Structure formats: C-alpha cells, structure tokens
Amino acid sequence: MWEAIETENMEAYASYIHPDFTQFGETDSVLRVGKESEVNGIGSWIQESSNIHTEMIDPIVTIKGNTAWIVYYWKDHGTTNGKPFATRGKSTRIFVKENDRWLCIHGHYTLLP
C-alpha cells in the first residue's frame, strides 16, 4: 500500500482497500466510511505532495482465519503544498481475506508527539 502511495499508483492502492473500509485518521474527529472516501483522500494528498516515504517499525501481524490485523509504529516524511513534513505515530490495520486477497477493511492511526 505504501509503495503504491510512494509511486503515486492510485489503482494499485485502491486494489488493497475493501469496499466497506472505515478509518479513524491521524486528525479525523469522525469516522471516515467507504473505499471511495479513502481512495479520494489519499489521491488528493498525493496530488499536493511529493517525495512521500513511510517506514513501518516493529510490526506485529496476527492472523485468525480470514481476518488479520497488524499493529505497528510508523515514521514518514515528504513535502505537502511545498512544505516539508515528518510525522510518527502508531497504527492498527485490520484485513479480511476475500477471493484469496487480503483487503484492508479498517485503519486506526494516532500521531505521536
């Protein structure tokens, strides 16, 4: 998913997102619902940004049947609207396996100071 963002390949990114995707984003005050909302949001961010790079730190993956989740820390950097950014945080992503593909159905991201 991150490689798709870094290479600005929205078709590839969308192929990992479940139609029923939900998310609590880094700064969202409300739940974002739907694949379209996620894909459009990431697409807008990519259009305003350059040199995006994200690193996953200390991932722990758990698989229970056709459901899996990953918890990890991240750090990223790049430029958005001409201004450099660098953040770090913690995340949980939940995946479901459908038609032999793992799709992200929920994400929860929290910025760290």
**Where are the domains positioned within the chain?**
2-111
d(CA 39, CA 48): 14
Please report which confidence band the pLDDT of residue 8 belongs to, taking 50, 70 and 90 as the band edges: confident
- What's the predicted TM-score (pTM) here? 0.86
Residue 109, pLDDT score: 94
- What's the gap between Cα 15 and its chain centre? 13
The yes/no answer on whether domain 2-111 falls in CATH 3.40.109.10 is: no
What amino acid is encoded at 16 in this protein?
Answer: Y
Residue 20, pLDDT score: 97
Burial of 19 (0-12, 13-18, 19+ CB in 10 A): exposed
Token pair 């949980």: residue: 92
- Contact yes or no for 113/86 (Cβ under 8 A): no
pLDDT digits (tens, 9 = 90+) for 20-73: 999 998 888 888 999 999 999 898 998 999 999 999 999 999 999 999 999 999
Of 103, 2, 104, residue with least CA distance to 45 = 2
pLDDT digits (tens, 9 = 90+) for 79-109: 999 999 999 999 999 999 999 999 999 999 9
Residue 11, pLDDT score: 93
Tokens representing 66 are 């056709």
Burial of 92 (0-12, 13-18, 19+ CB in 10 A): middle
